[in-house]
Amino acid sequence: MQKIITTKRNGYFVYQKQIDIDFAQIIDDYIQGKITRQILNSGNVERSVARITVNDKHYIIKCEKERDRRLEKRIMRVISGPYFSRLFHRLVRAQEQGCQITNDIYFVAEKIRFREALETWIIAEYVEGTVLSEINDIKPYYTEIAKLINKLHSYGLASNDIHAGNFVLTESGLKIIDLSDFGNFAICKANDLVALKRFYGIEPEKKSVVYRFISLRNQIRHWSRKMRGKKTRL
């Protein structure tokens, strides 16, 4: 059984797998520029992502400072608590059930105020392989994508951000990376299935009430924007 060690350091709540590596020191060395890094495009100025190499092993290192300022989102964060430490524990539980289809997490450090994470550092597994966004025709992988998402859901996890850049083709098959299932799990699962239908034309095996509601909501938004002459996402 994998164990997560919890400590407090320099104002951060720190969570680390019981591994003989000082990930907190790696964070310090990274901040001080002592570690070679390849900056990866996160698409968000409040979120930095890089690939680093330590003792000939690649890792992903992230710093998250993004917070949705909307009142309802802040209330939800206060109720549910910091996301990444919860994801870390959920991932370990899934791994104990045999989950090997998403990248591992080794370390999370959260600076918290009123149950909100103001700043989060994450060190995660770098998955070696080919990202599907680098492949011209990914239709041959549609069936495997659908099976992967259904399996992910069976472990109590969801992507909530399905696009080709989050799927990696490895020697052992397809893996999904960068989970971001903030909020209600049923809604995150439904968002995954809606995205599969929208991007890849993959119909879900079962259409839950939540799935139907989100699909209807998206249709209403689509026609509302179209009637106002705005660009639509559908």
CATH number, position 136: 1.10.510.10
Answer yes or no: do 137 and 120 share one domain.
no
Q: Are residues 161 and 201 in the same domain?
A: yes
Model pTM score: 0.88
Range of the domain at 226: 128-233
Q: Are residues 175 and 96 in the same domain?
A: no
Q: Which of 85, 110, 126 is the C-terminal boundary of a domain? A: 126
More reliable by pLDDT, 234 or 126: 126
> Worst-scoring range by mean pLDDT, 43-47, 126-130, 204-208, 209-213?
43-47
Query: 136-151, pLDDT tens digit by residue?
Result: 999 999 999 999 999 9
Are both 120 and 132 inside the same structural domain? no
* 199 and 164 fall within a common domain: yes
At 115 the pLDDT is 80
The domain tally of the chain equals 2
54-77: pLDDT as tens digits: 999 999 999 998 666 666 666 666
Q: Is the domain of 8 the same as that of 116?
A: yes
User: 71-120: per-residue pLDDT in tens?
Assistant: 666 666 667 778 999 999 999 999 999 999 999 999 999 999 888 888 99
Higher pLDDT, 135 or 220: 135
Angle (nearest 5°) at CA 13 between 27 and 21: 40
Mean pLDDT of 190-208: 91
Residue 9 has a pLDDT of 93
- pLDDT score, position 2: 76
Judgement on whether residues 116 and 133 belong to the same structural domain of the protein:
no
d(CA 149, CA 193): 8
Residues 175 and 79 in one domain: no
- What pLDDT is recorded for position 35? 94
Q: 125-130 — which CB contacts under 8 Å span 24+ positions?
A: 125/59, 125/60, 126/51, 126/58, 126/59, 126/60, 127/103, 127/168, 127/170, 127/175, 127/177, 128/58, 128/170, 129/168, 129/169, 129/170, 129/171, 129/175, 130/168, 130/169
Question: 100 with 156, same domain?
Answer: no
Whether the per-residue pLDDT at 49 is higher than 70: the answer is yes
Q: Are residues 92 and 160 located together in one domain of the fold?
A: no
99 alpha-carbon distance from chain centroid? 15
**Pair 142, 77 in one domain:** no
**Among residues 126, 148, 164, which one ends one of the domains?**
126
The DSSP secondary-structure symbol of 161 reads: S
Residues 112 and 5 in one domain: yes
Q: Pick from 126, 159, 190: which residue ends a domain?
A: 126
Q: What local confidence, expressed as pLDDT, does residue 174 receive?
A: 97
Task: List pLDDT tens digits, range 174-189.
Answer: 999 999 998 889 999 9
Report, as an integer, the average pLDDT of 212-226: 77
- Please report the pLDDT score of residue 46 as a whole number: 77
Supply the pLDDT for residue 116: 82
Instruction: Please name the amino acid found at residue 2.
Output: Q
Mean local confidence (pLDDT), 6-29: 94
Neighbours of 132 (CB within 10 A): 17
Average predicted confidence (pLDDT) for the chain: 89
Q: Is the pLDDT of residue 42 over 80?
A: no
